[in-house]
C-alpha cells in the first residue's frame, strides 16, 4: 500500500523535527523551504538552551509593570514600538489577558509538561543518531542580581519541582562553585536557580544534522521555493501554490503541516484560519573565546538583562549570548544600540576573556503566541487556541508558535504531532488544537 504523503511547510528546527518523526511513523514526507538550507531564519543563531526547567512564560503578573518601565529605554530588554498594525494591538490585548496568576501557572504547567516530554525525546534521538551539535550537558544556571527578582523566582521554582523538574535554589557561594566565572559579580550576585538536567547546543547545527538523517531516510527537501498560497476547498486543503526560481507551480499531498515560524499567520489568514502569532525580534551575539578557562562552561540566564549564554565548542570556541525582545513588526534590521548593550553587559560581567572586536550579531523573529505555549494539533476555521476546536480542515495540521522555546520543544512537539496524525494520544498534559482529548485538559484559557 502507498504511504500517505505529507508536506511540511518550513525547514526550521520545528519543521525538520516534524519531518523526522513523521518519516519514522511511515509517512512519505516532503519539506518545502524558501532558503537554500534548513535553519536559515529563527533557528539560525538562537540562545542554544534546551531550557525545560526555566521555562517561565513571558506573560506573567510582573510583566506589564516592568514593560512600562522599559518603554523609555532604547537598550531595555523589551521594546514595544506601537504601530498602526491591528495584529500587533490584538496580540498585546491577548498577551495582557495571559498575565494573571491563574493563566501564568496554567501556561507554565503546559510548557514544563511539553518540555519534559521533549527533552526525553531529544536525548533518545541524540543516542539513536549519535547527533553532534556542540551540545553540553552541564545544566542551566539562572542568576539574579536583584533581591526582589530572586524572591519572585522561589514560587515558580517550587511549582516546577512539583511538576518533576530538578530545579534547585542556590546561594551566591553555591552559584560560584557551580560556575566560577560568576565570581566576577562579587556582592552583586544575590542567588541563583540551577537545573543539572537541562542542556545547551547549536540549534542550527542540530537542525542541519537532523535534516541529513531525514534525507538519508527518504525525506525529500525542496529548497529555494516559496509557498505563495495555501488553497482550501471546503474542509480540506487541495494544493499549495509555489514560486520556484521565478516559476509558479503547484504542489499536492494528502496532509500539510504548518511549521512556518512567524510567517504562517498571513498565509493561513487567507483561508480563514486565525493564528494568534506575532513576531518578537530577538538578538544574539557570538564571541570568539580568548581565555577558555575564564568563560562560563555552564549555560547561563542573566535575569537582570534577560540574556541567555551558551558556550559552543567544536573546532572553534565561542560564547553565544542571546535575548531582548522587540515588538515592532516583521523587520529583522540590526539595531546597533541593542547589539552594543549586549556586548557592554558581557564585557562588564566577564571582562576581557572574549574577543569583542568582531562579534557576530544576528536577529531572528520568535513566533510568539500570547501564552508562550505553541499551537500543536489540527487546524480549523476561526481563531486557533489551546484546547479549542471548530470546523476542522481535515488534512491541515499545525506545529508552530514556539516563541522563546522552539529548540527546547522541537522534538516533543514533533513527536506529539506525529502521534496525533496517527490517531494516538500523546502522553502529556497539553491542550492540543482542534482535537478533543478530555482527560488531558489542563485548564488553559479560552480567548
Ligand atoms: C534571540 C533568540 C534567542 C532564542 N533562544 C532560544 C533558546 O535558547 N532556546 C530555545 O528553545 N529557543 C530559543 N529561541 C526560540 C527559537 O529559536 C524559535 O522558537 C525556533 O527557532 C522556531 O523554529 P521554527 O522552526 O518554528 O521557525 P523558523 O526557524 O523560523 O523556521 C520557519 C521556516 O519557514 C520558512 N518559511 C517561512 N515562510 C515561508 C514561505 N512562504 N515559503 C517557504 N518557506 C517559508 C523559513 O524560511 C524558515 O526556515 C530563541 C529565539 C531568538 C530570536
**Is-contact 6 256, C-beta < 8 A?**
yes
Q: What is the pLDDT of residue 246?
A: 95
* pLDDT tens track for 245-257: 999 999 999 999 9
Q: Which of 8, 37, 278, 366 to mutate to test the pocket of ligand 1 (most atoms within 8 A of CB)?
A: 366
Ligand 1 centroid – CA 8 distance (Å) = 14
The distance between the two most distant Cα atoms of the chain, rounded to a whole number of Å, is 68
319 closest CA partner among 114, 139, 136: 136
Model pLDDT for residues 133-183, shown as the tens digit of each residue: 999 999 999 999 999 999 989 988 998 999 999 999 999 999 999 999 999
Residue 226 CB–ligand 1 contact under 6 Å: yes
- Side-chain half-sphere CA neighbours of 66 within 13 A: 17
Q: Is the CB of 44 under 6 A from ligand 1?
A: no
Binding site membership of 7 for ligand 1 (Cβ less than 6 Å) = no
Answer for the pair 51, 408: CB distance below 8 angstroms, yes or no: yes
Q: How far is the CA of 41 from the centre of ligand 1 (A)?
A: 6
Neighbours of 19 (CB within 10 A): 32
To test the pocket of ligand 1, the residue of 45, 78, 227, 261 to mutate (highest count of ligand atoms within 8 Å of its CB) is: 261
Instruction: Report pLDDT for 290.
Output: 95
Per-residue burial over 98-130, b = 16 or more CB atoms within 10 Å of its CB, e = otherwise: bbeeebbbbbbbbbbbbbbbbbebbeebbeeee
Asked which of 73-87, 159-173, 209-223 is least confident by mean pLDDT, the reply is 73-87
Q: Name the nearest CA neighbour of 133 among 242, 209, 82, 40.
A: 209
Say if residue 447's pLDDT is above 80.
Answer: no
Quick one: pLDDT at residue 424?
Answer: 95
A 10 A CB-CB count for 36 gives 8
**What distance in angstroms lies between residue 409's CA and the mean position of ligand 1's atoms?**
12
Count CB atoms within 10 A of the CB of residue 303.
21
pLDDT (tens digit per residue) in 290-299: 999 999 999 9
pLDDT the model gives residue 135: 97
For ligand 1, say whether the CB of 14 is within 6 Å of any of its atoms: yes
Joined together, the cell numbers standing for residue 359 give 562579534
Q: Measured in angstroms, how far is the CA atom of residue 11 from the centroid of ligand 1? A: 9
With the most atoms of ligand 1 within 8 angstroms of its CB, the residue from 14, 32, 46 to mutate is 46
Q: How far is the CA of 20 from the centre of ligand 1 (A)?
A: 17
**402: Cα separation from own chain's centroid:** 4
pLDDT of residue 56: 86
Q: What are the Cα distances from residue 3, in Å, to 52, 136, 255, 378, 398?
A: 35, 38, 12, 20, 21
Rounded to an integer, what distance in angstroms lies between the CA atom of residue 438 and that of residue 418?
19
Amino acid at each position: 500500500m502507498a504511504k500517505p504523503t505529507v508536506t511540511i511547510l518550513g525547514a526550521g528546527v520545528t519543521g525538520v523535527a516534524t519531518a523526522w518523526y513523521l518519516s519514522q511513523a511511515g509517512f512519505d514526507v516532503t519539506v518545502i523551504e524558501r532558503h537554500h538550507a534548513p535553519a536559515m531564519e529563527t533557528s539560525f543563531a538562537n540562545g542554544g538552551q534546551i531550557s525545560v526547567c526555566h521555562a517561565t512564560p513571558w506573560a506573567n503578573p510582573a510583566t506589564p509593570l516592568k514593560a512600562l518601565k522599559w518603554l523609555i529605554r532604547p537598550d531595555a530588554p523589551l521594546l514595544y514600538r506601537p504601530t498602526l498594525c491591528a495584529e500587533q494591538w490584538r496580540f498585546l490585548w491577548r498577551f495582557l489577558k495571559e498575565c494573571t496568576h491563574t493563566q501564568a501557572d496554567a501556561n507554565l504547567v503546559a510548557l514544563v509538561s511539553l518540555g519534559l516530554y521533549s527533552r526525553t525525546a531529544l536525548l533518545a534521538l541524540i543516542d539513536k543518531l549519535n547527533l553532534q551539535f556542540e551540545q553540553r550537558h552541564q545544566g542551566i544556571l539562572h542568576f539574579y542580581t536583584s533581591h526582589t527578582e530572586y524572591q519572585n523566582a522561589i514560587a515558580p521554582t517550587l511549582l516546577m519541582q512539583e511538576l518533576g523538574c530538578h530545579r534547585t535554589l542556590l546561594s551566591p557561594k553555591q552559584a560560584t562553585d557551580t560556575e566560577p566565572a560568576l565570581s566576577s559579580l562579587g556582592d552583586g550576585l544575590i542567588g541563583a536557580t540551577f537545573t543539572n538536567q537541562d542542556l545547551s547546543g547549536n540549534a542550527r547545527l542540530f537542525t542541519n544534522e537532523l535534516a541529513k538523517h531525514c534525507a538519508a531516510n527518504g525525506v525529500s527537501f525542496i529548497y529555494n521555493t516559496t509557498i505563495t498560497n495555501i488553497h482550501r476547498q471546503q474542509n480540506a486543503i487541495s494544493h499549495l501554490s509555489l514560486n520556484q526560481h521565478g516559476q509558479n507551480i503547484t504542489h499536492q499531498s494528502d496532509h500539510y503541516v504548518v511549521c512556518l515560524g512567524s510567517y504562517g499567520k498571513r498565509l493561513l489568514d487567507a483561508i480563514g484560519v486565525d493564528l494568534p502569532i506575532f513576531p518578537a525580534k530577538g538578538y544574539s551575539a557570538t564571541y570568539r573565546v580568548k581565555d577558555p578557562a575564564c568563560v562560563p562552561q555552564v549555560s547561563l540566564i542573566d535575569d537582570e538583562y534577560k540574556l541567555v549564554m551558551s558556550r559552543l565548542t567544536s573546532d572553534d570556541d565561542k560564547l553565544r549570548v542571546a535575548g531582548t525582545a522587540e515588538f515592532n513588526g516583521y523587520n529583522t534590521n540590526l539595531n546597533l544600540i541593542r547589539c552594543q548593550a549586549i556586548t557592554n553587559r558581557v564585557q562588564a560581567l566577564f571582562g576581557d576573556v572574549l574577543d569583542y572586536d568582531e562579534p557576530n550579531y544576528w536577529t531572528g523573529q520568535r513566533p510568539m503566541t500570547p501564552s508562550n505555549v505553541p499551537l500543536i494539533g489540527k487546524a480549523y476555521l476561526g481563531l486557533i487556541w489551546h484546547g479549542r476546536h471548530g470546523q476542522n480542515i481535515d488534512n491541515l495540521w499545525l506545529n508552530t508558535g514556539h516563541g522563546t522555546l522552539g529548540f527546547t520543544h522541537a522534538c516533543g512537539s514533533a513527536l506529539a504531532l506525529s502521534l496525533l496524525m496517527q490517531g494516538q494520544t500523546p502522553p502529556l498534559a497539553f491542550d492540543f488544537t482542534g482535537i478533543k482529548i478530555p482527560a488531558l485538559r489542563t485548564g488553559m484559557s479560552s480567548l
